[in-house]
Every structure is written in C-alpha cells, then in structure tokens.
Amino acid sequence: MGTKAWGAAALLVAALWVDFGLAADWSVVPSINAKTEFNSNLNASFDNKLSDYIFTLTPATEFNYTTEASQLQGRLGLTGLKYISHTEFDHVDQSYQINGQYRLSPRWNLILNSSFIVDSTQTQELLASGLIMNRTPRRSFTVGPGITFNVTERLGATVNYTFNQVNYQDPQFQNYINQAVGLNLTYPLKNQKTSLLGNILGRESRYPSQGNIFRSLGINLGAKHMFSENWEANFLGGVNISFLDFQTQVADPDQSPFFITIKQARQQETNLSPFFNVSTTRRWTNLSITGGYALDQSASAFGSISETNRLFLNLNYNFSEKLSGSLGGIYNLSNQVSQEDNFQSDNLSVTSQVTYRVTEKLSMAPGYRFSQQDDITNSRSAKVHNVWLMLTYSYPIHYQK
C-alpha cells in the first residue's frame, strides 16, 4: 500500500472520528528540523567502511484533536537526506501516523493505530528486530484497530488486530507480512496502586518469496505497580509457543559415495521460548530515569524469526529552564529461532545529547552516538561514530471551539 492509499484511509478515519457538533480542543504544532551529521560507517560494515557527512531537513506537523467522546492525534513528516560523497544514498523519508480513540458508550471504546513509514536508514529495522542492515529504503505500513470494554466495574479488556507489511528495495532482503490478534486484561486491586495484567497474543509472519510461515501463541501474566507518584514499574512474563514452517537446504545422499547433492525441502518445527517485558520509571525534580528488559520474537529482513534480548536505560536531566541533557543506552542480542542457521548477533548503542532552548520556539541540540555491531557467529565487529548538530523551530497553534 502506497502513500495515496494510506492518505485516503487516514482521511476516512479522521472524518469518522471528528465530532463537529461537540466542543473541541485543537492543537497543531508545525515544525522544521535541520541537522548536520558525520557518520563514520554508514552501513555498520565489517569491511569496506564508508564515511560521509549528511545533511537532513525535516518539515513536520503534529496535531491533536480532543472532545468529550473522542481523541485523534498524529504526525505527518518528510525528511530529505543529502549525502556529500555517497549520493547514491540520497533519499526523502516519509513518516505518517494517525491514532484515535472513540467512546461509543461509558463501557465501550474504539481504538485505532496506523502508520506509513519509508525509512532509508537503519533505525526502523533496529527497533523492529534488533538487527542492523544496510541503508536501503524500507517501507512499512501498519494498521491496528481494536476495541476496549469494561467487563465489570474493575476488569477491563482490550481486543485488537494488527496488520503490518514491510517491503525492502534491496533484493537481498526479504519482504514480510505480520498479523497479530491479542486479548489484554487489566484488573486494578483495591489498593489502587497495583493492577494485574493478562495477555494472550497470536501472531503470524509470512515471507511470500520463500513461502515461509511462522506462527506463535503467547500467554503472559504480570502486574503494574505505583510505588509512589514518581515511581512506577511494569512486569509481564510468560511463554511463546512457536510453529515454524520454512524452506531449507538438505543433503541428498542417494548418489553417495560418488557425489552428494543439495536440494530444497520443507521443514516444520515447534518450540517453546520465554517472554519477558520489564520496565520502570523514576522521576525527581530535575532528573528522570527509565530502564527495562524485554525478551521476545520478531520478523526481520533476513527471512526468519529472531529471538531478541533488549536491555535499555535512558536518563534525562534539566540543568535549567533552557538547558537539558539526555543519555541513553540500548543493547540487543538476537538469535535465529529456527534451525535453518545459527546466526547470532548483538549491538550496543550509547547516545548523548544536550538541548538548549534559544527561544520558546527555537532549540539547538548537539549530540554523539557510539554503536558497535557484532557478528558473534563469525567473530566480527563493526563500530560506528555519529556526531551531529540539530536546529528545531516549532510554532504551536491552539484552538478551542
């Protein structure tokens, strides 16, 4: 699905969500971001490293519409990337997101999450699968309708469906389609500080070019607890039961000992793996810290399912009303779920940035990122250094009806 189809669907959603007859609160924040960056290893390559200076310009608009019965929020943005030496990477990235909630009755609510993203860097793939790939346009379309309802006065339930299609321009990567159906339950305890959580999630990933199909059923239980107004924690744990059906290569010994041929064959597997998602946030007057750990499975551009361990920590500190700083780190360890190969990789990324508000609308932010990608299977490592200076100008517009 392209930009025009997503735009038509977005206009339809907006028309259904907007209540023209009710009092409404509108806010629109147009902005423009200019960034100058040096990257020491554009593709996080182990060999033949390419470095370059990159100039980016991002005009964008964020909006929020709220009434007593509905809420609609989203972001529309374009990012033009200009490489000084390696102009073959020049590209215009696109990012469109619209999310909404609509209250049908005191007990029933409709929800919708949708996005259309074309990204030529490695950011989206890293977030999706924990793996780093070459710079190539990656198109991702996602739509996720759902409904929430109160089963009782305290028990709340959410049923949702998510469709995600990812296509790559580079033919060495595998396009895939993800579908998921989930049931989430929330039960607050009487102390009003703890909520019990339950989750059942069925997922399917298809690789059309290979005919590979990966299905899984996740069953998870957990809790959310507020230690205080400034400290909260979430825990969700359980199992993923995976059903794998994929194409693989096997040796055909029929002509042995003269020669052994390699042929394609279907292979089916079932396995059981753990699931964890733990996070906590602690806030002080000027400092906030968020950290967590997640273990889950996801599709990737490499034609199979990866089991990814993800550990992250983010710190934000306000030195003054105008000056703030952030420091964040993320570590991913990915393994192939199927027995097709034993590829294992990890990556570590540490990012620091200082933001200075020159005026209420204009801010300046220098930053630095260090990344290391390890091919554990073949004992190889690649390092990347990024340095940038970013200017952002935004003009908030607020309207009440």
Domain-located, residue 151: yes
Q: What pTM did the predictor assign? A: 0.84
Domain-located, residue 368: yes
Burial of 205 (0-12, 13-18, 19+ CB in 10 A): buried
Above 90 in pLDDT, residue 375?
no
Domain range for 42: 1-167+355-401
Domain-located, residue 378: yes
pLDDT greater at residue 168 or residue 224: 224
Domain-located, residue 259: no
Res. 265 pLDDT band, cuts 50 70 90: low
Domain-located, residue 45: yes
* pLDDT tens by residue, 267-321: 778 888 899 999 999 999 999 999 999 999 887 777 777 888 999 999 999 999 9
Domain-located, residue 292: no
* pLDDT tens by residue, 311-331: 999 999 999 999 999 999 999
* pLDDT tens by residue, 208-245: 887 888 899 999 999 999 999 999 999 999 999 988 87
C-alpha to C-alpha distances, 194 to 157, 275, 350, 390, nearest whole angstrom: 16, 21, 33, 41
Q: What is residue 131's predicted lDDT score, i.e. its pLDDT?
A: 64
Mean pLDDT, rounded, of the chain? 87
C-alpha to C-alpha distances, 357 to 365, 369, 375, nearest whole angstrom: 9, 21, 40
Name the maximum alpha-carbon separation found in the chain: 84
Above 90 in pLDDT, residue 32?
yes
Number of domains in the chain: 1
CA–CA separation, 287 and 125 (whole Å): 30
Domain-located, residue 67: yes
